Amino acid sequence: SQTIHQWPATLVQPVGSPLSLECTVEGTSNPNLYWYRQAAGRGLQLLFYSVGIGQISSEVPQNLSASRPQDRQFILSSKKLLLSDSGFYLCAWSVKGTDNSPLHFGNGTRLTVT
Amino acid sequence: KNEVEQSPQNLTAQEGEFITINCSYSVGISALHWLQQHPGGGIVSLFMLSSGKKKHGRLIATINIQEKHSSLHITASHPRDSAVYICAAAESYNTDKLIFGTGTRLQVFP
């Protein structure tokens, strides 16, 4: 069966520090991968999605970047965190090549920038 | 005005009550997703539908494409149903083009 791992679960980082959140998927190959952010009191916002190794699309300009060094690994990074980067970050995957494939979410990382 | 709107924003119910959460969207869609976000933050996909009705256990989702409206129903609600329910409209046949509602927070009391 397919599983998705996301870590860490919680993170408190000072402004200006770097960030690295990691997500890995097991039990499937060549998935579409996604990073979402949920700010307090707001809906989910798509940050990045990837259809393959090294292929990253950004939905919103921001202080964050994403990389996909391996087929089932998706990393969200920042060189210098801002207060506005605080939020709940969710990684997700879906099956490629299927119209409207359901999204499968990780458990999320709650990031607090102080 | 958001492209995907949910109502109500907050909902409380007694155990056993029938619950309805509504979702209206203003864009043309290929499918609509219903998601459940647990208190800890984890999200589970409940339904994905493009027409008619789907049922899974005590959960029923319906969609009316002409009226651009979808509903999520919970029959015989239980405290473990307490969660945030999110609808998301898929503008295209690619899952990456989802527009999310802000969610409905449901609390079911015993």
Q: Output the tens digit of pLDDT for each of chain A's 114 residues.
A: 779 999 999 999 999 999 999 999 999 889 999 999 988 777 888 899 998 999 998 887 688 999 999 999 999 999 999 999 999 999 999 887 666 678 899 999 999 999
Contact criterion met (CB < 8 Å) for A100 and B41: no
DSSP string for residues in A9-62 = SEEEE-TT--EEEEEEEES-SS-EEEEEEE-TTS-EEEEEEEEETTEEEESS-S
Name the pLDDT band for B50 (thresholds 50, 70, 90).
confident
Pair B69, B22: CB distance under 8 Å: yes
Q: Which residues fall within 8 angstroms of residue B66, CB to CB, at 6 or more apart?
A: none
B69 or B41, which is more confident: B69
Sign of CA dihedral B50, B54, B59, B65: positive
CB A108 within 8 A of CB A95: no
Assign residue B27 a region: left if phi > 0, alpha if psi is -120 to 50, beta otherwise? beta
The continuous run of DSSP H or E covering B15 comes out as: none
- With an 8 Å Cβ cutoff, are A46 and B98 in contact? yes
Cβ-based contacts of A66 with chain B (< 8 Å): none
CB contact under 8 A, B95 and A43: no
Determine whether the interchain pair A103/B45 forms a contact, defined as Cβ–Cβ distance below 8 Å. Answer: yes
Q: Which of residues 94-113 of A touch B (CB under 8 A)?
A: 94, 99-108, 110
Distance CA A76, CA A91 (A): 9
Q: Which residue of B has its CA nearest to A101?
A: B95
